[in-house]
Chains A and B, each alone.
Chain A
Amino acid sequence: DQQVKQNSPSLSVQEGRISILNCDYTNSMFDYFLWYKKYPAEGPTFLISISSIKDKNEDGRFTVFLNKSAKHLSLHIVPSQPGDSAVYFCAARTGGSSNTGKLIFGQGTTLQVKP
């Protein structure tokens, strides 16, 4: 059972435009959500996160939105740059007393930003 889903395997956008990557989850016990970025032949690197008590977190060109009622989060990249081309993983964590540090990852979305 995939608790975190990224239903779009790939996304292609033009340089300078907005990239929107989506993620859905099923477990209402998730209290923290993260986005990781992965280039070929490298490990994932942390990009941005959001606590379940917030609905938006912004860091430069990257903004993550959380809609708890819909169990949906999205990552917005504005403006998109060719260097943003990578695989983006959404991840979720169960916190509180059951926090084991385990991250549940989505399948990933490959973003291509065309010059």
Chain B
Amino acid sequence: EAQVTQNPRYLITVTGKKLTVTCSQNMNHEYMSWYRQDPGLGLRQIYYSMNVEVTDKGDVPEGYKVSRKEKRNFPLILESPSPNQTSLYFCASSPMSASYNEQFFGPGTRLTVL
């Protein structure tokens, strides 16, 4: 089954404790991206990657890191989480094409930083 998986689905942590949210896709997509969803703000892009070893900032990259060492994986790293990073996070992927129309989203990771 073609899918984007994220782990963990739910996480409660404390300020300053480093964490990683994993994202993996089995569709051989070149393009992967991380979004956060906050009430009243919709989804905002954090980082994206057009291929292995190619990453770039989205609209809200502060406080986050990513890496793309393999095509299928795109982990999101919070080196020192803060309460304002409490949010719902989505990973997405799509084939590298002229349109990027249909981005496939993972099920989401709800993060709470105390």
Contacts and interface: CB of A to CB of B under 8 A. Distances in A.
Interface in B78-99: 90, 92, 94, 98-99
Nearest to A44: B105
B45 A46 contact: no
B29 to A, nearest CB: 11
A45 B103 CA distance: 8
B42 A49 contact: no
B44 to A, nearest CB: 7
Contact of A43 (B44, B48, B58, B90): B90
B41 A43 contact: no
Interface stretch (A10-18, A59-67, A96-104): A96-104
A103 B103 contact: yes
B106 to A, nearest CB: 5
Interface residues on A, range: 20 to 34
B43 A99 contact: no
B100 A108 contact: no
A106 B42 contact: yes
B108 A102 contact: no
Contacts of B59: 102
B62 interface: no
Given A41-B107, A43-B106, A93-B100, A101 B43 contact: no
Contacts of A46: 101-104
Interface string B21-62: 000000000010101000011111100101000001011000
Nearest to B101: A49
Given A89-B43, A100-B56, A44 B107 contact: no
Interface in A61-115: 89, 91, 93, 95, 99-103, 105-108
6 contacts: A32-B101, A41-B107, A49-B102, A89-B43, A93-B101, A105-B43
Interface of B: 4, 31, 33, 35, 40-45, 48, 50, 56, 58-59, 90, 92, 94, 98-108
Interface of A: 4, 6, 32, 34, 36, 41-46, 49, 89, 91, 93, 95, 99-103, 105-108
